[in-house]
Structure 1
């Protein structure tokens, strides 16, 4: 009884558009519940829609009704849409374009990719048409990721939509979606090969980066480095040598230091780029920085190591032991090793810092390191070890002064508040 009461109550809605859509939504729910009253609801929805005087609102209502038909699993939804397709030709191009865009969106939501493309192609405005086709390709890629049983079908439909996208950056964006689909399906070579077809620099960079990351996540990046390097060279020829740095960064962020370094070495300002990329890796993902540093030659490593250690000493939270160790292994520079010793001190690893200091041949750097260690050990209350560190300084004069300072500071710490400033009185 309640169903019939609800259906009867819809009639009190004064707006025929809202009324027809409401009947359709009720019909959809009744059909799902296998209640025979769904036929009555849908029939009233169609009858009410035809009473709408404004043709644009009438077509919108019919599209919404058709969508409810589709959600209910009724094949007649396509007939409703076909009727709108034909009858809407009376509208002006801008009005009809919006109707066709809505039709494509509804069909896409129903998973009817072929029909969605059909309605998208009816849109006269090139920018709007390309945008809708791009939305279709994007949605298709998401569906491929969720249900791979229909992957081949969806891939064909994405290719079909791509054929009709004739403006940038829509086409490049759609190519990226198709590349993602290939990668999801494990067709890596096809995905990599499509990178060549992207004609917009921004999206070529984005696509190259995403492909590198996808392959890294699937732990197959190493198998396709040669293919990626070949594509990188073609993209550089297409977009200019300045594009080299962007591709090098993509390689470096993927943990592939060797091809990244190889690209950078082609640049006239390679030293500047090595430093810039190293600092960006430190900020964005320091876990990939060791692989980048390990790919550098001695000169490059010294250049990068100095700047990176300076940044880490300024902001210790950016560093980690893997980065510091990679820098140490890549360069014999005692200046950089002194900075590494400083990092050890900040981390409380005094034994490691002393070991580094004892190996330094440069007396100035050795003194700096040992003095640093000694001062921190005094703060820790370990006077004996602080003196041992100070005595490791090769310059006897500097060593003597350092030991003197340590003993005085140790006394001040031992007798807090007991050493008062003399006020001139003999008593």
Structure 2
């Protein structure tokens, strides 16, 4: 019964008037006959070739051969490669742009079939550089996916135009990094002519080095490349690289590099490390221990801002107290007191709040303690905290706010943590008055 079905299919296909569709249909029937282990499947392909030989339109004949070759390949037939070669020979005699269009179709089909070497061979005959380079990149990615670095380098050397050559280089660098072939990655980086694409490649390096266990000598080589870049691109690349290294724990190394940079370039890197390491108190501690003066104060304040924007955690208590003991800035002490108060460590929070000298900032420090105490139901403790601000104006203001919040808690069942915003509003009123 099955044999009759295929014979009937072949008979019906003969009635298809469009020769292109008839040839392709014969090829499809041959493919499915092969899958069904029908011994006469070659007959179907023979019919397909006979139809092509009678076609008067060479363009459609070439397209039909691509389809026939595809189905032959799926049967495992070696003849398919000869069919694709026949297509190539025929197409080379076509005028442009038809020639390149058909070559593109042939190359794409070969890639779909996994015939990557054949695709590379035929793509080089394309005259349209944009199409050729786009296809070369597709072929490159196949070789990179399978780890064929020799062929990958062959393609890079075949591409002369930008940005394709640089894109190919960056794609190859990514693979070398994953394979931990750092020497090869560095060699490609040094050969890149475009500063923009070198910058893009270095950003890939920075992303990789955030998690990789790489020898320090390798870091230094990548940093040297980044330092060789100029302008905004160079700064962005170096910053990304150093942030990645710092977040990985190479804090001392990063600080050593920062000493060679202008002051204005240091702060963004340090802030980047803090942001990338917000869940690593050990790295934050080591970073802050290495900083001095205004740089320490700035990063200490930035670190406290990051911690206050996250869920409070006792594991940061030691780090926060370290910052409180080292800082000379009232604004930072306020943040330290606020964090510790939110943790419920009122004794330490009180200690650091007491060091705040400015009346306005002192009101913020003790205000945060008072609000935290109210949240625990300690009304007397909240009032005591408010009374620690001795300045007549700010002391009165804070006491008023805390008394209001006591009533707010009684009636609403909760209180808003808006002491800082209200203090800023009050200060603006007094300054205008």
- TM-score (structure 1 length as normaliser): 0.77
Which among 112, 125, 133 is matched to residue 109 of structure 1? 112
Please give the per-residue CA displacement for 1:36-56, whole angstroms capped at 9, x wherever unaligned: 232122222223333443322
Q: For residue 86 of structure 2, what is the aligned residue in structure 1?
A: 83
Query: Taking structure 1 as reference, are residues 294 and 212 closer, same or farther at Cα in structure 2, changes over 3 Å only?
Result: same
Q: Structure 1 residues 87 and 327, CA, compared in 2 at 3 Å: closer, same or farther?
A: farther
Q: 1:333 to 1:59 in 2, by over 3 A?
A: farther
Q: 1:407 to 1:121 in 2, by over 3 A?
A: closer
SS of alignment partner, residue 93 of structure 1 = coil
Where does 1:196-275 land on structure 2 (aligned, <5 Å)?
A: 196-217=190-211, 219-221=212-214, 223=215, 225-240=216-231, 242-253=233-244, 255-256=247-248, 258=251, 265-268=259-262, 270-271=263-264, 273-275=265-267
Gaps of 5+ in 1: 145-150, 417-427
Q: Does 2:301 correspond to 1:306? A: yes
Deviation at 1:265, TM superposition (A): 4.9
**Structure 1 residue 19 and structure 2 residue 22: aligned?**
yes
Structure 2-normalised TM-score?
0.76
Where do residues 150-189 of structure 1 align in structure 2 (5 Å cutoff)? 151=147, 154-189=148-183
Q: Deviations over 1:69-93 (max 9, x none)?
A: 2222111111111112222222113
| Residues 303 and 21 of structure 1: CA distance in aligned 2, closer, same or farther (over 3 Å) | farther
Counterparts of 1:10-409 in structure 2 under 5 Å?
A: 10-142=13-145, 144=146, 151=147, 154-217=148-211, 219-221=212-214, 223=215, 225-240=216-231, 242-253=233-244, 255-256=247-248, 258=251, 265-268=259-262, 270-271=263-264, 273-277=265-269, 286-287=278-279, 291=283, 294-295=286-287, 297-298=291-292, 299-307=294-302, 309-310=304-305, 316=309, 329=322, 332-334=327-329, 335-345=331-341, 348-351=342-345, 354-360=347-353, 361-364=355-358, 365-390=361-386, 393=388, 395=390, 406=402
Structure 1 residue 117: Cα displacement: 1.0
Q: Is the 8 A contact 2:321 2:336 kept in 1?
A: yes
Deviations 1:85-119 (A, max 9, x none): 22222211322112222222222223222211111
Matched with 1:421 is: none
In the alignment, the residues of structure 1 paired with residue 320 and residue 235 of structure 2 have an alpha-carbon distance, to the nearest angstrom, of 24
Q: CA RMSD in A?
A: 3.7
Distance (whole Å) between structure 1 residues aligned to residue 176 and residue 60 of structure 2: 41
State the shift of 1:128 in Å.
1.9
Distance 1:328 1:55 in 2: 82
- Alpha-carbon distance in 2 for matches of 1:86, 1:274: 61
Matched length: 396
1:166 Cα deviation from its structure 2 partner = 0.7
Deviation at 1:199, TM superposition (A): 2.3
1:8 shift after superposition: 3.1
Q: What is the alpha-carbon distance in structure 1 between the residues aligned to residue 362 and residue 68 of structure 2?
A: 82
TM-superposition CA deviations, 1:210-260 (whole Å, max 9, x none):
23433544x323x2x433432342344255465123232233145246455
In the TM superposition, residue 294 of structure 1 has moved relative to its aligned partner by 4.4
8 Å CA contact retained: 1:120, 1:129? yes
In 1, the alpha carbon distance for the partners of 2:411 and 2:130 equals 81
TM-aligned CA deviation for residue 325 of structure 1: 7.1
Instruction: List per-residue Cα deviations over 1:280-325 (Å, max 9, x = no partner).
Output: 6777885589847844622323223435645776xx3599888897
Shift, 1:372, TM fit: 1.9
Q: 1:267 to 1:173 in 2, by over 3 A?
A: same
* Stretches of structure 2 lacking an aligned partner (at least 5 in a row): 413-433
Report the Cα distance in structure 1 between the residues aligned to 2:13 and 2:312, rounded to whole angstroms: 66
